[in-house]
Chains A and B, each alone.
Chain A
Amino acid sequence: MGEKHTITCLVENHFGVLARIAGLISARAFNIDSLTVSATEDPTISRMTIVVDADAAKLEQVQAQLGRLIDVIEVKELKDADFVGRDLLLVRVVVNGAKRSQLEPILQRFGAKIAEGDESSVVVEAVGKSRALDELIEALRAFGIKKLVRTGRTALERSDK
């Protein structure tokens, strides 16, 4: 296996595009770690951020195959130094009385906050790089994680790139 690569794609914003991309990825047996899609400043265009686990040859194929799709306007690999990449994490953590105070310093360290909560649990919300969120999850395990969801990486190029 290879390493993680971040690919950013601009695609036409109409129905069926996600299905085409998902179909291509499964038909060619590429390993995808995550895929996020959202609108852009231009309502006719969506941006996809795809994180793939691939060696150099496979990565070249993924990009070339994506480029063949008529609905894909641009495909680019983002190198580590070239982009700002973030995941969003939402995690429901068990907290009873005294433990709540132990949670505070951890949240501060990771710039996370409590999105909502009740007597027995809270939903922690955090935005950060994938690895930082991995660490946050580890730190929260001690409390007891009831449910967890995170988006894949979404990424934007740094300026002048």
Chain B
Amino acid sequence: MPKMKGAQILIECLQREGVDVAFGIPGGANLPTFDALYQSKIKVILTVHEQGAAHMADGYARASGKVGVCLATSGPGATNLVTGIATAYMDSIPIVALTGQVRTSVIGNDAFQEADTIGITRSVTKHSYLVKDPRDMARVVREAFYIARTGRPGPVLIDLPVDATVNEAEFVYPEQVDVRGYRVQAAPPVNPEQVRAAAEAIAKSKQPVIYVGAGVIHSGAAPELLQLAKTLNAPVTTSLLGLGAFPESDALSLGMLGMHGFEYTNLAVAECDLLIGIGARFDDRVTGKPDEFAKKAKKIHIDVDPSSINKTVQVDFPVVGDVKDVLRALLKLAKPLDTSAWLTALADMKRKYPLTYREKSRLLPQYIIQQISDATKGDAVVATGVGQHQMWAAQYYQFNHPRSLITSGGLGTMGFGLPAAIGAQFGCPKAVVWDIDGDGSFSMTSQELATASKHRLPIKVAVMNNEFHGMVRQWQDQFYEGRYAQSTLNPIDFVKLAEAYGCVGVRVEQKDDVRPAIDRAMRVTDRPTVIDFLVEKKEDCWPMIAPGKPHHQMLGTYEMLSKDGGVPQHRRATPDEESKLSLG
């Protein structure tokens, strides 16, 4: 057996896992790894900041469905990754983070650039490894990728002391992975009794609602979901991260539910007699007050992770298993339901309580997003930051395909948009990738324009520039009597910023210029474009259910806004026939 350095074994294993691109920054403790990468076929994308690297790996994974890889050196490199790893953890995204570490002989001595990376990341990783001996390298890398992508996916970190990467060992590739504490989690067996109980509950329902989360996307179960919805004639609502799992152009689509979900969608959930939760975790932004959530409904919960079940909302029919496996089993038992009266009632609710906004003298972000949705026909990959613009993107962009929305749902990480869009573009080189962002969010990681520019990525960034942390400002108006404690932002000239990085910069202040600017950005194919939309400064994101409140205490309803000039809105500027039906 030939001996190889630990770093060479690592790279050989990465290649066998199908890794084609990795995002990161070299430093003292990971130089051997970068040196081995330099001599490999893996494309290494140098980022400006390690947080960017983690978000890029995340965006790559969300868009492509493959495991994303990021690298950082020890100490500050590793700590800079933490926000990105936590973001991936909260949204169950498979990434592998490779961190440098000081030599094993000095671990614990407060050596230069030493941090207890395993300790710091323990609560935000699915699992982590410290490789002390290169003989363990191949097994660890194999297990890390396996654990990251199977079961409920999530980030895995491998901490690599310098000596484990420079010392030599025989390279023995483990063909099989066997982690005894993980056998069941990797592929939980579907219990036929649970499926039968769920099917019986479905057969009794007259007013069902299917509530879908990202688990459907992770599991690749969008076709089975569509089939189930069509078989049952059941309407489908999605969480923020579930957007795209079900085509919003379909008449059965109810769009997003929850805090900033549609009024009629939350009403539908309140009125349904059966809620079929699929690959969703009953997050507090979805449920509002948990005891009031879908109060009239029996609840089915299908999830790969048993700890998600009964965590916040008690359910009647749990089904543990991979969503795709469960849906296939369920489809064998499912019979068509007569839901025509229910669907008619829902159509009525949609007409009575549509999505709305009021025209203002300045540009409105909602209008801009409608135009982006229309210009891209809902076929783009859309990344977002976090805040009002994120909610407006969820409301006004029509998502029709899995993996078309790349957004930080669980952790709500501002600054996610641009690096995630870069990762998504590397994962899907042919896709049209937009980053719909806010000025506050975008500014947190805008330095990664350098990365996008260097690789001539044709990403389009739409900055909703309102010179506010808009969502904070909205809450301050709503709950803190308008005291704007540090929510006002210094104006930034994003056109100049874009040009400084070698990107195209466009400023838009007039409604008439919105569509031409979007169309222009769509024509730029050799560099990023940043559109600086100077929007209404104090536009609020409606409707809204205040935290912990039940759906019927919704603020910013159609009834309220229509008195003040609000008119019903479609999500696309020129709705096609189907999306007219779905008001999508």
In angstroms, Cα B318 to Cα A64, docked, is: 14
If A64-B307, A67-B307 touch, does A16 touch B118 (CB 8 Å cutoff)? yes
* Binary contact track B269-307/A, C-beta < 8 Å → 1, others 0: 000000000000000000000000000000000000111
Is A57 touching B314 in the complex (CB atoms < 8 A)?
A: yes
Across the interface, which residues of B come within 8 angstroms of A70, CB to CB? 126-127, 147, 179, 181-182, 185
Considering only CB atoms, which chain B residue lies closest to A44 in the complex?
Answer: B180
Q: Does B122 contact A (CB under 8 A)?
A: yes
Q: Which of A19-27, A84-92, A101-109, A112-120 contacts B (4 or more CB under 8 A)?
A: A19-27
Please report whether the interface of chain B is mostly helix, strand, loop or mixed according to DSSP. Answer: helix
In angstroms, Cα B130 to Cα A64, docked, is: 25
Q: Does B119 contact A (CB under 8 A)?
A: yes
Is A67 touching B306 in the complex (CB atoms < 8 A)?
A: yes
The distance from the CB of B92 to the nearest CB of chain A, in whole angstroms, is 12
Across the interface, which residues of A come within 8 angstroms of B118, CB to CB? 16
The distance from the CB of A57 to the nearest CB of chain B, in whole angstroms, is 6
Across the interface, which residues of B come within 8 angstroms of A127, CB to CB? none
Q: Does B204 contact A (CB under 8 A)?
A: no
* Binary contact track A43-68/B, C-beta < 8 Å → 1, others 0: 00000000000000100110011011
CB interface residues, A 1-39, toward B, < 8 Å? 11-12, 16, 19-20, 23-24, 27
* Binary contact track B301-330/A, C-beta < 8 Å → 1, others 0: 000011101110010000000000000000
* Binary contact track A66-82/B, C-beta < 8 Å → 1, others 0: 01111111000000000
If A12-B181, A61-B311, A70-B127 touch, does A23 touch B306 (CB 8 Å cutoff)? no
Across the interface, which residues of B come within 8 angstroms of A68, CB to CB? 185, 305, 307
Q: Does B39 contact A (CB under 8 A)?
A: no
Counting contact residues on chain A (CB < 8 A from B), the size range is 20 to 34
In angstroms, Cα B309 to Cα A123, docked, is: 49
* Binary contact track B339-383/A, C-beta < 8 Å → 1, others 0: 000000000000000000000000000000000000000000000
The distance from the CB of A37 to the nearest CB of chain B, in whole angstroms, is 16
In angstroms, Cα B180 to Cα A73, docked, is: 6
Is B119 touching A67 in the complex (CB atoms < 8 A)?
A: no
Considering only CB atoms, which chain A residue lies closest to B132 in the complex?
Answer: A15
In angstroms, Cα B130 to Cα A24, docked, is: 19
Please report whether the interface of chain A is mostly helix, strand, loop or mixed according to DSSP. Answer: helix
Name the one of A19, A23, A27, A61 contacting B307, with C-beta atoms under 8 angstroms.
A61
Q: Does B123 contact A (CB under 8 A)?
A: yes
If A16-B118, A57-B310, A70-B147 touch, does A23 touch B123 (CB 8 Å cutoff)? yes
Across the interface, which residues of B come within 8 angstroms of A60, CB to CB? 310
The distance from the CB of A14 to the nearest CB of chain B, in whole angstroms, is 10
Is A72 touching B181 in the complex (CB atoms < 8 A)?
A: yes
CB interface residues, B 95-149, toward A, < 8 Å? 118-119, 122-123, 126-127, 130, 147
Across the interface, which residues of B come within 8 angstroms of A16, CB to CB? 118, 130
In angstroms, Cα B314 to Cα A61, docked, is: 12
Across the interface, which residues of B come within 8 angstroms of A27, CB to CB? 123
Name the one of A24, A57, A69 contacting B181, with C-beta atoms under 8 angstroms.
A69
Considering only CB atoms, which chain B residue lies closest to A17 in the complex?
Answer: B181
Considering only CB atoms, which chain A residue lies closest to B128 in the complex?
Answer: A16
In angstroms, Cα B123 to Cα A20, docked, is: 8
Across the interface, which residues of B come within 8 angstroms of A20, CB to CB? 122
The distance from the CB of A11 to the nearest CB of chain B, in whole angstroms, is 8
Considering only CB atoms, which chain A residue lies closest to B181 in the complex?
Answer: A73
In angstroms, Cα B151 to Cα A68, docked, is: 10
In angstroms, Cα B123 to Cα A23, docked, is: 7
CB interface residues, B 144-195, toward A, < 8 Å? 147, 179-182, 185
B contact residues vs A (CB 8 Å cutoff): 118-119, 122-123, 126-127, 130, 147, 179-182, 185, 305-307, 309-311, 314
9 interchain pairs, CB-CB under 8 A: A12-B181, A16-B130, A24-B123, A27-B123, A57-B314, A61-B311, A64-B307, A68-B305, A71-B181
- List 13 additional contacts besides A60-B310, A70-B181, A71-B127; criterion CB under 8 Å: A16-B118, A24-B123, A27-B123, A57-B314, A61-B311, A64-B307, A67-B185, A70-B127, A70-B182, A71-B181, A72-B181, A73-B180, A73-B181
